[in-house]
């Protein structure tokens, strides 16, 4: 926890507010042996795109560890410590073989599980018995490569969210091949953005006109109206809800935070929605499931699944220009200044944001709750317990709760009454979601 300097009550008083407190190391440091690093290591994380595993290994850095990833001739993904066990040469210069990866320097051959299959310069010796190189389990799934970097005896089940199998849709990757989205800042401030629906009203809408479009490509100007915010804890994380009056309808947007580093969110619906016969309420399932994986304390990798309707193209992976560019780096500084997006808002909070200088308010309740959940998880892991989010005994897909819902509800007579009506409607929808998670319950949903 960090110490907060007193707030300023006088104008022109920067001189009295120059101290920059340290970051909250418990929540932000991710290297081996750190509390948060050990916590995050209790989960599977995507670390690369399958499409990028080709004929040369890839050097990567995850949670402060230098690694190399590859797919061998048998089609198996391998994730090894980067430096050869023999003399330390980087295996990024190694050669992929039918079975494993061979160091370029003296030809030691490593299986994907770390087994050292050959030490050609050594003949029979000198290392008797099976000797292993440092390896982590890796598994490809729908275009992403996942890894588990925690204690071998605590390996959790592979992720199985109910959103992974949406009828009529294919789970696909959220980026074109060869494109990796890296933000030069700590993972937690990227997650802060997830549990902060209010920023959509400002950063993406009011400031510059809406940068967010609905299914028909219309900029959704309705986002500029700050709605009724609610933050609801779920069995897997947090629903970050913003409910708004939209003409004859009430629109309840529930972006979902899933511990420890996942967001699920739906594309904004067309407003008013196209109700089918007799329909007065539509639930839109998440289109995106996105992980933010720490590279190290000050760099964060983003990888995502998107749900693509059968027969349609993947707007994220097949048409790079469709991706919201303001979430990525590489733009000219002048453009960053004139059209800032998530990238600029997040990375400029310092390489590691300083919570001791923040002034959080009602709209930041999601931030407060998420950090509390993470801190609880960190302490559970440190105590040798499974943190929340490790689903060991669950049979079947894991329920999740995020969605956008639009419901036809006639406006109340006064603005204040309508605000209350919007809040009440949002609460009812939340109740129904929590009782019957839409994707698991097989509700009639759209994506």
Interaction residues for a second copy, span 404-423 (CB under 8 A): none
The sign of the dihedral angle between the CA atoms of 402, 406, 411, 412 is negative
Q: Is 236 in the site for a second copy (CB under 8 A)?
A: no
CB of 331 to a second copy, least distance (A): 12
Smaller CB separation from a second copy, 306 or 378: 378
Q: Is 207 in the site for a second copy (CB under 8 A)?
A: yes
Torsion of CA 337, 181, 60, 145, to 10 degrees: 170
CB of 410 to a second copy, least distance (A): 26
Q: Is 156 in the site for a second copy (CB under 8 A)?
A: no
| Range 341-370, binding a second copy (CB under 8 A) | 344-346, 348-350, 353-354, 357-364, 367
Helix axes 187-194, 365-382, angle to 10 degrees: 130
CB of 427 to a second copy, least distance (A): 19
Q: Select from 35, 100, 143, 150 the one that contacts a second copy (CB under 8 A).
A: 150
Q: Is 253 in the site for a second copy (CB under 8 A)?
A: no
Which residue bears the tokens 């309705």? 222
Q: Is 85 in the site for a second copy (CB under 8 A)?
A: yes
Distance CA 148, CA 187 (A): 18
Smaller CB separation from a second copy, 58 or 259: 58
Distance CA 370, CA 255 (A): 13
Residue 52: its H or E element:
none
Q: Is 256 in the site for a second copy (CB under 8 A)?
A: no
Q: Is 81 in the site for a second copy (CB under 8 A)?
A: yes
- Residue partners of 287: CB distance under 8 A and separation at least 6: 265, 266, 267, 306, 307, 447
Burial bucket for residue 79 (CB in 10 Å: 0-12, 13-18, 19+): buried
Residue 37: its H or E element:
helix 35-40
- Return the ∠ at Cα 389 (arms to 428 and 39), rounded to 5°: 135
Q: Is 380 in the site for a second copy (CB under 8 A)?
A: no
Q: Is 136 in the site for a second copy (CB under 8 A)?
A: yes
Q: Is 3 in the site for a second copy (CB under 8 A)?
A: no
Distance CA 5, CA 9 (A): 12
Q: Select from 40, 99, 149, 190 the one that contacts a second copy (CB under 8 A).
A: 149
Smaller CB separation from a second copy, 298 or 440: 298
Which residue bears the tokens 């080709």? 54
* Contact string (CB under 8 A) for a second copy, positions 97-126, x = contact: -----x-xxxx---x-xxx---xxxxx-xx
| Range 14-73, binding a second copy (CB under 8 A) | 14-19, 32-33, 41, 56-57, 65
Q: Is 90 in the site for a second copy (CB under 8 A)?
A: yes
């Amino acid at each position: 926890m960090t110490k907060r300097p007193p707030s300023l009550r006088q104008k022109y008083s920067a001189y009295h507010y120059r101290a920059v407190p340290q970051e909250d190391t418990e929540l932000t440091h991710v290297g081996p042996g750190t509390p948060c690093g050990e916590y995050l290591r209790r989960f599977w994380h995507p670390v690369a795109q399958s499409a990028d595993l080709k004929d040369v290994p890839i050097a990567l850095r995850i949670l402060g560890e230098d690694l190399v990833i590859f797919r061998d001739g048998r089609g198996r993904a391998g994730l090894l410590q980067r430096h050869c066990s023999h003399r330390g040469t980087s295996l990024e210069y190694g050669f992929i073989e039918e079975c494993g990866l061979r160091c370029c320097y003296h030809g030691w051959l490593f299986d994907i599980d770390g087994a050292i299959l050959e030490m050609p310069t050594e003949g029979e010796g000198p290392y008797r018995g099976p000797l292993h190189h440092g390896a982590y389990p890796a598994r490809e799934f729908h275009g992403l490569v996942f890894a588990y970097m925690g204690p071998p005896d605590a390996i959790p089940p592979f992720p199985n969210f109910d959103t992974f199998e949406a009828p009529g849709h294919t789970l696909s990757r959220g980026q074109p091949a060869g494109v990796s989205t890296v933000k030069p800042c700590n993972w937690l401030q990227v997650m802060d953005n997830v549990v902060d629906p209010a920023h959509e009203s400002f950063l993406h809408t009011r400031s510059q006109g809406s940068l967010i479009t609905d299914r028909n490509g219309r900029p959704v100007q309705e986002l500029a109206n700050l709605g009724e915010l609610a933050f609801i804890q779920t069995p897997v994380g947090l629903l970050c809800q913003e409910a708004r009056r939209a003409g004859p309808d009430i629109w309840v947007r529930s972006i979902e935070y899933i511990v420890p580093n996942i967001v699920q969110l739906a594309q904004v619906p067309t407003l008013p929605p196209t109700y089918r016969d007799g329909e007065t309420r539509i639930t839109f399932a998440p289109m995106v499931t996105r992980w933010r994986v720490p590279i190290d304390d000050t760099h964060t990798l983003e990888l995502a699944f998107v749900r693509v309707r059968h027969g349609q193209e993947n707007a994220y992976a097949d048409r790079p220009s469709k991706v919201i560019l303001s979430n990525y780096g590489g733009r000219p500084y002048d453009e960053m200044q004139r059209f800032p997006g998530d990238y600029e808002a997040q990375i400029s909070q310092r390489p590691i944001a300083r919570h001791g200088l923040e002034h959080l308010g009602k709209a930041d309740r999601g931030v407060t709750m998420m950090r509390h959940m993470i801190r609880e998880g960190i302490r559970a892991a440190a105590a040798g317990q499974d943190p929340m989010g490790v689903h060991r005994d669950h049979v079947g897909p894991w329920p999740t709760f995020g969605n956008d819902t639009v419901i036809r509800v006639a406006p109340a007579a006064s603005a204040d009454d309508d605000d209350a009506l919007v809040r009440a409607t949002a609460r009812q929808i939340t109740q129904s979601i929590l009782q019957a998670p839409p994707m698991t319950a097989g509700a009639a949903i759209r994506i």
